[in-house]
A and B are shown apart, each in its own frame.
Chain A
Amino acid sequence: MYRYDDLDRQFLHERVAHYRAQTERYLNGQLSEDAFLQLRLRNGLYVQRLAPMLRVAVPYGTLAASQLRALSKIAREYDRGYGHLSTRQNVQFNWPELAEVPAILEALALVDMHAIQTSGSCIRNVTTDQFAAAAADEQVDPRPYCELLRQWSTAHPEFEWLPRKFKIAVTGSSNDRAAVEVHDVGLRVYRDQQDQVVFDVLAGGGLGRTPVIGHQICTALPIAELLTYMEALLRVYNRYGRRDNKYKARIKILVRAMGADAFASAVAEEWQHTRGGPATLLTTEIERIEKQFVMPTLHQHTDYSETLAQERFDNPDFSRWLTHNVTPHKVAGYACVTLSTKVIGVPPGDVSDQQMDAVADWADAYSQSEIRISHEQNFVLPHVAQCDLLALFKKTKAQALNTANVGLLTDMICCPGGDYCSLANAKSIPIAEAIQRQFGDYDYQHDLGELDINISGCMNACGHHHVGHIGILGVDKKGAEFYQISLGGHSGHSQRPASLGKILGPSFARDEVPNVMAQIFSTYLNQRHDEEDFLSCYERIGIAPFKETIYAKSDS
Chain B
Amino acid sequence: MQNLIHNVTGQWQVSALSASETPHWQTDKTWQAGLPLCVTVDVEPEPVWQTASLIGIDFPAFTDGRGLSLATLIRRIGYKGDLRALGAIHEDVLHYMVRCGFTSFLLPEDCDPAVALACIAPYTEFYQGSVIQPAPLYQRRARG
Residue of B nearest to A162 (CB): B65
From B12-20, B31-39, B67-75, give the one contacting chain A: B67-75
Which residues on A sit within 8 Å (CB–CB) of B134?
A: 277-278
Question: Which chain A residues border B76 with CB–CB below 8 Å?
Answer: 273
* Residue of A18, A154, A158, A284 touching B127 (CB-CB under 8 A): A154
- Whether, in the assembled complex, B48 has its beta carbon less than 8 Å from a beta carbon of chain A, the answer is no
Asked whether any CB of chain B lies closer than 8 Å to the CB of A539, the reply is no
Give chain B residues whose Cβ lies under 8 Å from the Cβ of A7: 125, 137, 141
The answer on a CB contact under 8 Å between B64 and A11 is no
Is A445 part of the contact surface with B, judged by Cβ < 8 Å? no
Bound: A243/B123 CA distance, A: 29
Chain A contacts of B126 at CB under 8 A? 11, 155, 157
**Chain B residues with CB under 8 A of A238:** 65-66, 68-69
Cβ contact within 8 Å between A239 and B70? yes
* Residues in A neighbouring B142, C-beta threshold 8 A: 284-285
Q: Which residues of chain A from 265 to 279 have a CB within 8 Å of any chain B CB?
A: 273, 277-279
Task: State whether A160 touches B122 (Cβ < 8 A).
Answer: no
0/1 per residue, B40-72, Cβ < 8 Å to A? 001000000000000000000011111011101
Q: Which of A152-172 contact B (CB under 8 A)?
A: 152-163
Tell me which of B2-10, B79-87, B93-101 binds A.
B93-101
Report the interface size class on chain A: 35 or more
Determine whether A399 belongs to the interface, using a CB cutoff of 8 Å to chain B. Answer: no
Measured CB to CB, the closest approach of chain A to B139, in angstroms, equals 7
Least CB separation from A284: chain B residue: B142
Report the separation of the CA atoms of residues A160 and B90 in the bound assembly, to the nearest whole angstrom.
14
* Any B CB within 8 A of the CB of A530: no
Contact check, B127 vs A11: say whether CB atoms are below 8 A apart.
yes
Chain B CB within 10 A, most for which of A38, A160, A239, A282:
A239
Our pick among B63, B70, B135 for the contact of A161 (Cβ within 8 Å) is B63
A121 at the interface (CB under 8 A from B): yes
Residues from chain A with a CB closer than 8 A to the CB of B138 are 282, 285, 288
**Residues A226-280 near B (CB distance < 8 A):** 227, 235, 238-239, 243, 273, 277-279
0/1 string, B99-140, CB within 8 A of A gives 1: 110000000000010010000001111111111001111110
Known: A14-B123, A30-B112, A30-B115. A158 touches B129 (CB 8 A): no
With contact pairs A14-B123, A157-B96 given, residues A278 and B69 touching in the complex (Cβ less than 8 Å): no
Partner of B69, one of A10, A22, A152, A158: A158
CB neighbours of B129 from chain A (8 A): 278-279
List residues of chain B with CB within 8 A of the CB of A163.
Answer: 65
User: Does residue A35 face the partner (Cβ distance < 8 Å to B)?
Assistant: yes
B28 within 8 A of A: no
Judging by beta carbons under 8 Å apart, are A152 and B65 in contact?
no
Contacts of B62 in A (CB 8 A): 35, 38, 161
- Name the residue on B nearest A152 (C-beta): B128
- Does any Cβ of B come within 8 Å of A39's Cβ? yes
B interface footprint on A1-28 (CB within 8 Å = 1, 0 otherwise): 0000101001100110110001001000
Chain A residues 341-359 with CB under 8 Å of chain B are: none
Contacting pair B69 A235 (CB below 8 A): yes
Contact A121 B100 (CB under 8 A): no
Distance of A521 Cα from B42 Cα, bound (Å):
53
The one of A38, A152, A157 in contact with B100, judged by C-beta atoms closer than 8 angstroms, is A157
Is A151 in contact with chain B by the CB < 8 A criterion? yes
Q: Check if A35 sits within 8 Å of B90, measured CB to CB.
A: yes
Give Cα A163–Cα B68 distance, bound, in whole angstroms.
12
Residue of A nearest to B132 (CB): A157
Task: Encode contact with B along A54-92: 1 for CB under 8 Å, 0 otherwise.
Answer: 000000000000000000000000000000000000000
Distance (Å) between the CB of A293 and the closest chain B CB? 16
Q: Which residue of A lies closest to B60 (CB)?
A: A243
With a CB–CB cut-off of 8 A, which chain B residues contact A153?
A: 128
Across the interface, A151 reaches (CB within 8 A) one of B42, B90, B128, namely B128
A158 touches B100 (CB 8 A): yes
Asked, given contacts A18-B123, A158-B72, A161-B93, whether A239 binds B66 with beta carbons under 8 Å apart, the answer is yes
Cross-chain contact B127 with A239 (CB below 8 angstroms): no
Q: What 13 additional pairs, Cβ within 8 angstroms, besides A7-B141, A161-B64, A282-B138?
A: A7-B137, A11-B123, A18-B122, A38-B62, A121-B65, A151-B127, A154-B128, A157-B97, A157-B126, A158-B96, A162-B65, A238-B65, A239-B42
User: What are 19 A-B contacts with C-beta separation under 8 Å?
Assistant: A11-B124, A14-B122, A14-B124, A17-B122, A18-B122, A35-B90, A121-B65, A152-B128, A156-B128, A157-B96, A157-B99, A157-B100, A158-B72, A158-B100, A159-B65, A161-B62, A278-B134, A278-B136, A282-B138
Closest 5 CB pairs of A and B: A161-B65, A157-B99, A278-B134, A151-B127, A157-B96
